[in-house]
Amino acid sequence: MLTIGCHLSSSKGYLAMGKEARKINANTFQFFTRNPRGGSVKALDLKDVEEYLSYAREQGIRQILAHAPYTLNACSADEGLRAFAKNTMADDLLRLEHIPGSCYNFHPGSHVKQGAEAGISLIADALNEILKPEQHTTVLLETMAGKGSEVGRTFEELREILDRVTLSDHMGVCLDTCHVWDGGYDIVNHLDDVVKEFDQVIGLGRLKAIHLNDSKNPLGAHKDRHEKIGQGYIGKEALIRVINHPMLKDLPFYLETPNELDGYKAEIALLRENYRENGR
């Protein structure tokens, strides 16, 4: 069965997100762990978590994806900003222990003028401080579009980060279709080659989630502007090939398209209609 969901607002808690997901026929979802621009966060409501966990079990909601605030920069040249990113991520991971088996996605960061190499080592250092052997959450590096000085535009950069993380069993990658397209990977005409390249450079075993987005920009634009499924440069047919690719089809897919709930519902229905179950 296709595992698909979309980005939901976390302001009303986990149970509310679970119910919203089921309303649009999603069986997973993504959410920001806290205000994407700010840092503060309410105390975790343990009753809400407990109610969510039993609802998720009963409704067949699978592994969910928490997204770190996108303003964090674990490879900032500023030590204070790096510390802020580390503290926030460590706190998010502690809270996620209440929902074991989830994934936690973050943007590797922007090296600004330090160079990619310096950025990569700062990101790995941060992860080496944050990760705990006993944790039950897998931390995902997101593939980036290469806007400005973003680290993680190439599979090689992500591989380098993973290579330097000691507890790398707790690490994986989330592939964003808009970002890789904007980053120059032609998933429209050469999906098989891109999947093969990912496997050779990073290893498909590391791939834990896919952000399924169309793009407002052409291949290699380095822009990162998501578009609705079928309304951008990637197009509906190519995205349907992504969800049906034999090496990808069992992964969870998350829509981050510019939509309200009805729009997400329609996209999920479209993708479910065009998904081929295994063995058929």
Candidate ranges 7-15, 159-167, 169-177, 194-202; the one touching Fe ion (CB under 5 A): 169-177
Q: Is 7 in the site for Fe ion (CB under 5 A)?
A: no
Candidate ranges 16-24, 80-88, 146-154, 211-219; the one touching Fe ion (CB under 5 A): 211-219
Q: What is the DSSP letter of 276?
A: P
Candidate ranges 86-94, 109-117, 154-162, 172-180; the one touching Fe ion (CB under 5 A): 172-180
Q: How far is the CB of 47 from Zn ion (least distance, A)?
A: 34
36 and 106 Cβ atoms separated by less than 8 Å: no
Q: How far is the CB of 182 from Fe ion (least distance, A)?
A: 11
Q: Is 224 in the site for Zn ion (CB under 5 A)?
A: yes
Q: Is 160 in the site for Zn ion (CB under 5 A)?
A: no
The whole-angstrom separation of Cα 107 and Cα 89 is 11
Residue 224 interface partner, choices Zn ion, Fe ion, none, CB cut-off 5-8 Å depending on type:
Zn ion
- Which member of 157, 176, 214, 224 binds Fe ion (CB under 5 A)? 176
Q: Is 142 in the site for Zn ion (CB under 5 A)?
A: no
Return the closest-CA partner of residue 121 out of 151, 143, 148: 151
Neighbours of 53 (CB within 10 A): 17
Residue 228 interface partner, choices Zn ion, Fe ion, none, CB cut-off 5-8 Å depending on type:
none
Measured from the CB atom, is 15 or 153 closer to Fe ion?
153
Q: What is the DSSP letter of 14?
A: H
- Which member of 82, 208, 211, 228 binds Fe ion (CB under 5 A)? 211
The whole-angstrom separation of Cα 176 and Cα 182 is 10
**What is the bridge-based pairing of β-strands 214-215 and 226-227?**
antiparallel
Buried b (16+ CB within 10 A) or exposed e, 118-133: ebbbbbbbbbeebbee
The whole-angstrom separation of Cα 97 and Cα 90 is 11
Candidate ranges 24-32, 58-66, 101-109, 224-232; the one touching Zn ion (CB under 5 A): 224-232
Return the closest-CA partner of residue 105 out of 49, 144, 50, 66: 66
Q: How far is the CB of 225 from Zn ion (least distance, A)?
A: 8
Q: How far is the CB of 255 from Fe ion (least distance, A)?
A: 10
Residue in the block written with tokens 């290699």: 220
Binding site for Fe ion (CB under 5 A): 142, 176, 211
Binding site for Zn ion (CB under 5 A): 224
